[in-house]
Structure 1
Amino acid sequence: MERRREKPWEGEVYESTFPWLLEWRARTQPGRVAFRWKRYGIWRRYTWRDYYLRVAYAALALESLGLGPGDTGAFITFNRPSWVIYEVGVQLLGGRAMGIYRDSLSDEVGYLLDSGDAKFVLVEGQEQLDRVLDSGVDVDKIIVDEAKGLHQYRGMVGSKIVTFGDVMRLGRKLYSDGGDQKVKKLMGELEPDMVCGLFTTSGTTGLPKLAMISFKNMLAMAYQLNTVDPVREDWEYVSFLPTAWIGEQMMSIPYHMIGGFKVNFPETPHTLWRDFREIAPHFMFSPPRIWERIAKDIMARVDDADPIKRAAFRLAYKIGYEAARRRLVKGRSRPPTLWRALYYLAYWLALRAVLDKAGLKRIVRAYTGGAMIGEDYVIFYHSLGVNLKQIYGQTEVAGIAVVHPDDDVRPDTVGKPLPLTEVKIAEDGEILMRSPAMMKGYYKNEEATAKTIVDGWLRTGDVGVLTEDGHLKVLDRAKEIIVLSDGTKVAPQVIQNKLKFSPYIGEAAIVGSGKPYLAALVNIDFEIVSRWAERRRIPFTSYSDLSQKPEVLQLLKREIEKVNRRLPEKERIRRFVSLFKEFHPDDEEMTRTRKLRRMVIESRYAGLIEAIYRGDEEYELTVTMKLEDGRRVQVTRRVKIIDVEG
């Protein structure tokens, strides 16, 4: 059936598809800018009409090359127009898009290509091309966006390997030869309930599963978010998070198509923050690690500033902190009049300049999700004037289910359920959810689907509580809760987040299951600690060397003792180790979204953990590290085990 109504969907906007919405915007707002891409130092504009035509070209070319309804088109790429054009082109054909993290190694690439039955794959350049070829999985076509170095693959170029430019040229020719009628036919064959993508779960407790998400699922999430937090079409957004992550997907495609704002793609990963500051977006969504990084950079810049600027910032921040503390409480959406006036002065005295340098001065709404963020960070950003709001959700509900309303932000909760979302707490404390954004199931995994969706409710695996006024508090993953030897239950993520508010601590893993007290395995923040060491003329050669310096160990001890003073007795850290290597996804200690894999860490560092609880003062630690080329090397070094007061 051909759909050419003014709005090509019936009922609410989420009863639609991405291609329908794109065609509607191209028809009603053909000259309005949809996105920009910085190329060779110049921001290139793409209107909604440009976007639609390029998606039509991609779909026609992909179909002529052999992709069809129900096929999977994978992609491994940085944030750039080719990604969204390819993805929506695959979906216009009735296919499924599947993202793979750009830094995935060949074995991970192979696992996902095989699990998702990928037929085509778009890669950014030679590095990702090699990983697909080395994965051991045979796909029909590999489409390369950056065509540099393809002379090395002469036997495959033009057959198995094609460039994205060639795909676009082929599609343009097919469109001019009557393909526009074919595109209309393809549009008419789509339905809102069709699966549009396979999205990887975080995989904190094992291999990632593939959630089957429909157009309606994605658009229902975006519709609900836009109902609570409506965006304006003249707002700017910078796309820079991993394209495979549901968080970036939901912002750059469904939310973009419903909200109509401008999406900006940075030139390269290396120019990201410079490009970000140039755009100065109106809203932003990032996982906690990004907000932690920005905060630590601000703290470091303040420490490096001259005494007058440092004093001005600290005075302004203190005023901002007191104003934020008085606002971020139940029943109050604004601080008292006196503190509003004082904050206004503090903003123009020092805070505005800090926000400008961070690219945050135009931020109206800032979201954090994907993992828990420490309460300290929420207060820190509100003290600066950044409206940082927590969201809660999972891949299985298209990313977002709960968010803070603008007038009811609280550091200790993740907000209230979206309008069409229901949340309840099971008898064992597990958070259960249901909404029109809930996935259709896991791809080729009925057993896991049956365990996760029970009586129409999604079992999240997280433990939490609902407040009397409907806010959700998330404690931790049910499987992450630590039970001490006396039966005390501890949510380690809360303590880890408090530790990571220190600018000197990059990551921390709390251990202590079945033990009498808690201990911590700590990664230093190399960038911040190296600056600290240089100012004190402490010599070092590498991360490994710096992490074991006696002065650094004492620094970490002081920071942990500060945290201990704010924790209940049973939740205090009694001993810690500064590791000589960072936790890393390549070593399976973290997911690709940088969530700790606790079971892997406890197994990998079992000998060290036992030494901590034996009372040893040092331990010879041997770890196996995986290099980018797949080789594994063993590294051995003696580490100190430090006692902590407080």
Structure 2
Amino acid sequence: MSEARFLPQIFFERAHHLARERAFHYCRPRDRKWVDMTWRKYREEVCILAGWLRSKGVKKGDKIALLSGNRPEWLITDMAIMSLGAVTVPVYATASQNDVTYIMEHSESSFLIVDTLDRAEMVKELNLEGVVTFDRGSKQQADGFKSPITAMADIRKEKKLAIENPIDLKDDDVATIIYTSGTTGRPKGVVHSHKNFAEGVKPTYDILKRDDGEVDRFFSFLPLSHVAERMLVVVGSIVSGSEVAFARSIDTLAEDLVRCRPTILLCVPRLWEKIYEKINAGLLVASPVKRAIFSLARRLGESRIQGDHIFARNDQKLPAKISDILVGKKLRTKLGLDRCRMLVTGAAPTRPEVMRFFGSFGMRIREVYGLTENLCLGVLNDSEEVVIGSCGKPFPGNEIKIAEDDEILFRAHWNFDGYYKNPEATAEVLKDGWFHTGDLGKLDSDGRLRIVGRKKELLKTSGGKYVAPVPIEDSIKAEPCVAEAMVVGDERKYCVALISLNEEVIAGKDPSEYKEALKKHLESVNSPLASFETVKRVGVLKQGFSVEDGSLTPTLKVKRAVVADKKSNFIEKLYHSEDAVIFE
């Protein structure tokens, strides 16, 4: 690992030593051709953009907002900003106009850097020092902007302005302000210094390092504005000298995975679940022989699993090897995961049956748990022994403690410095060096963390009983025809649930055909629960939750307050109905 302390310095060193090696593999927007970029070119682009920004007066501490989909220029821009000692303010590409405007104004960002001018339309009324666009827009698109617009292609011509090295940085210099996705209100700006990134480099490197001399390939499709993707793809690729392949879009994900064949993949639970559901849907129309072979291979592959533990060493067992010959190798190749040595999931729990399914075919999905405030370096499942239902053990250098009320507390040198312009909120969660996560959990006898629920999401019935909705929602989603579930019950006599149906499973059938199956499933969900926890009614929504309608965050977490408000009339209908399953 590099002796340099700060991330920009590590990047410049890495780019120098790996100059001719591939840094990026991506589909070029202008002609849709798949091309590569070397580390030398990566560094050159950083130096030119940083020099241009400096020529426009950008200095240490200035905030620059970055609003873009995943592409090489995202990483280039992030490094250019940091190399000047300026502050990167990443914004989700799917953020609403209200959120974008709020973040721009709250952070006092002087520049906005976007992939396309279409993306900047929502802030065209703001007076900024400038807007930089990766793809040159038309004159018509630029009309009406109050800020000067510059295309990256024109900046690339200004090579004489390029910097040669990053400026000298100090521990307390701010590197980034990351705004949370805001499940419970206005986004909060999480401040991370260059010291925090520097402290997070070692545990990141320790997790990623390999001793066989091979180069890893990351696959980037989750929002780079989210701290987990940024730590893995931006920081991880730099500290380990790995390359990054980019998906063209979420719609081409399956095709791009097969093309890029990554060795490390971060995915959210809902996407693992979708793959699982699609495979099962395919089996329903497969021939009896194919179904029988698949079933046999799965049973043989389950030799990898003992109780809740999936062991890497069990890959060498004869049943697992036969399972691989029958199905496993073909399945991994078909999914583009045949080279993957590390599969990671986070942001929400993954259903146990999904973990078991992939584990039986040699794909051990490692759950990770962390927050924006601790750079997502909380806990991670071990590569040799994945424990289903657990998020794993602490990252090297991180301490964990469970408070008396079961809240999860973390202490590490990379914990955030506070919320921007919000000392009251900072004081609520940073106490005596411990970060109070707001999540509830338990440690098992081996020191592994299990998430119980979220403190702020606990529902309190009118009878004064507290209900943790997440485990109940996971149980509801175990039914294949259910895509999403949200339990409602705050200040109510009992709980009900809103669900959306899985379009791939119901395959165009009338949703009412699943009424009896849902009633039966509800009985099984309720059977182990205390009476005050049981779900008395299920409301089936016409349309599922989505990022576009504001009901999901960009990391696919349900915004409970938004959904409860939008569906208030339907929720009232549930509470006044006599039937257990009601359709919207």
> Which one of the candidate residues 342, 355, 361 is aligned to 1:378?
355
More deviation, 65-74/497-506? 497-506
Q: Contact conserved, 1:98 with 1:197, CA < 8 A, in 2? A: yes
Question: Could you tell me how far apart the structure 1 residues matched to 2:98 and 2:204 are?
Answer: 36
1:179-328 mapped onto 2 (5 Å cutoff): 182-184=163-165, 187-231=166-210, 233-326=214-307, 328=309
Q: Distance in 1 between matches of 2:361 and 2:128?
A: 50
Matched residue type, 2:324: Y
Correspondence 1:70-109 to 2 at 5 A: 70-109=61-100
Matches within 5 A, 1:166-185: 166-170=154-158, 172-175=159-162, 182-184=163-165
- Paired residue type of 1:25: R
Secondary structure (helix, strand or coil) at the match of 1:118 reads coil
Give distance in 1, aligned partners of 2:312 and 2:80.
44
1:592 and 1:472, CA in 2 relative to 1: closer, same or farther beyond 3 A? same
In structure 1, what is the Cα distance between the partners aligned to 2:214 and 2:524? 45
2:302–2:320 contact (8 Å) kept in structure 1: no
* Matching of residues 555-574 of structure 1 within 5 Å: 555-561=517-523, 563-564=525-526, 571-574=533-536
Residues 352-501 of structure 1 mapped to structure 2, 5 A cutoff: 352-484=329-461, 489-501=466-478
Structure 2's unaligned 5+ residue stretches are none
Query: Which amino acid is 2:174 matched to?
Result: V
Q: Distance in 1 between matches of 2:173 and 2:217?
A: 30
Equivalent of 2:496 in 519, 523, 527: 519
2:126 counterpart (115, 124, 137)? 137
In structure 2, relative to structure 1, the CA distance for the partners of 1:315 and 1:569 (3 Å cut) is: farther
Q: Residues 359 and 564 from structure 1, CA distance in 2 versus in 1: closer, same or farther, beyond 3 angstroms?
A: farther
What is the 5 A alignment of 1:148-167? 148-153=137-142, 160-167=148-155
Deviates more, 1:552-561 or 1:304-313: 552-561
Is the CA contact (8 Å cut-off) linking 2:71 and 2:246 kept in structure 1?
Answer: yes
- Higher mean alpha-carbon deviation, 447-456 vs 266-275, is at 266-275
Tell me the distance in 1 between the aligned counterparts of 2:369 and 2:315: 29
For 2:583, give the aligned amino acid. K
Q: Out of 382-391 and 29-38, give the one that drifted further.
A: 29-38
Relative distance call for 1:365 and 1:495 in structure 2 (3 A) is same
Per the alignment, residue 541 of structure 1 pairs with: none
Q: Deviations over 1:322-379 (max 9, x none)?
A: 53245717xx764497xx2112111110122222222222221111112222222222
Distance (whole Å) between structure 1 residues aligned to residue 580 and residue 309 of structure 2: 44
Please name the residue that 2:16 is paired with.
27
Choose 34-43 or 435-444, whichever is displaced more.
34-43
The 1:18/1:442 distance shift into structure 2, 3 A limit, reads same
Amino acid at match of 1:211: V
Contact 2:94/2:547 (8 A) holds in 1: no
CA distance, structure 2, for counterparts of residue 571 and residue 429 of structure 1: 19
Deviation at 1:226, TM superposition (A): 3.0
Q: Quote the Cα distance in structure 1 between the aligned partners of 2:195 and 2:284.
A: 49
The alpha-carbon deviation at position 410 of structure 1 amounts to: 1.0
d(CA) in 2 for partners of 1:156, 1:613? 49
Q: Do structure 1's residue 600 and structure 2's residue 562 form an aligned pair?
A: yes
The alpha carbon displacement at 1:219 in A equals 4.0
The answer as to whether partners of 1:389 and 1:409 remain within 8 angstroms in 2 is: yes
8 A contact 1:72–1:117 mirrored in 2: yes
Provide Cα deviations, 1:490-528, integer angstroms capped at 9, x if missing partner.
321112123324332111001234555432110112243
Deviation at 1:555, TM superposition (A): 4.5
The root-mean-square deviation of aligned C-alpha atoms, in Å, is 2.7
CA distance in 2, matches of 1:404, 1:618: 39
Secondary structure of residue in 1 paired with 2:275 = helix
State how far apart, in whole Å, the 1-side matches of 2:173 and 2:283 are: 51
Residues 296-324 of structure 1 show CA distances to partners (whole Å, capped at 9, x for unaligned) of 22222222323222221122122223532
Counterpart AA for 2:149: I
Q: How far apart are residue 617 of structure 1 and its match?
A: 4.2
1:192 to partner: Cα distance? 4.4
For residues 270-305 of structure 1, give each alpha carbon's deviation from its aligned partner in whole angstroms, at most 9, with x where no partner exists.
433312211111111122222222222222222232
Q: Secondary structure at the match of 2:409?
A: strand
Q: CA deviation at 1:94?
A: 0.8
Q: Distance in 2 between matches of 1:600 and 1:238?
A: 32
* Sequence identity percentage: 30
Separation (CA, whole Å) in 1 of partners of 2:201 and 2:504: 37
Partner-residue secondary structure (3-state), 2:105: helix
Q: Does the 8 Å contact 2:65/2:89 carry over to 1?
A: yes
Aligned to 1:575: 537
Closer, same or farther in 2 for the Cα pair 1:470/1:8, shift >3 Å?
A: closer
The partner residue of 1:614 within 562, 576, 581 is: 576
After superposition, the Cα gap between the structure-2 partners of 1:160 and 1:470, relative to the gap in structure 1 and judged at 3 Å, is same
Give 1:13's aligned residue: none
How far 1:413 moved relative to its partner? 1.3
Aligned amino acid, residue 275 of structure 2? I
Classify the secondary structure of the residue corresponding to 2:176. strand
Q: Quick check: 1:640 aligned with 2:583?
A: yes
Determine the C-alpha separation between the residues in 1 that align with 2:416 and 2:368: 18
- Residue type matched to 1:19 in 2? P
- Which letter maps to 1:164? M
What runs of 5+ residues in structure 1 fail to find an aligned partner? 1-5, 10-15, 176-181, 539-545, 620-638, 642-646
Inter-CA distance 510–223: structure 2 relative to 1 (3 Å threshold):
same
Per the normalisation by structure 2, the TM-score is 0.92
- 2:553 is aligned, of 574, 582, 591, to 591
**Residue 47 of structure 1 pairs with residue 24 of structure 2:** no
CA distance in 1 between partners of 2:385 and 2:460 (Å):
33
Deviation at 1:484, TM superposition (A): 4.7
Paired with 2:561 and 2:404, the residues of 1 have a C-alpha distance of 25
TM-score with structure 1 setting the length: 0.84
Correspondence for 2:505: 528
The answer to whether the 8 Å contact 1:617/1:640 transfers is: no
Q: Could you give the per-residue CA deviations for residues 10-61 of structure 1, whole angstroms, max 9, x where no partner exists?
A: xxxxxx2222111111222221212222224543222222111110011001
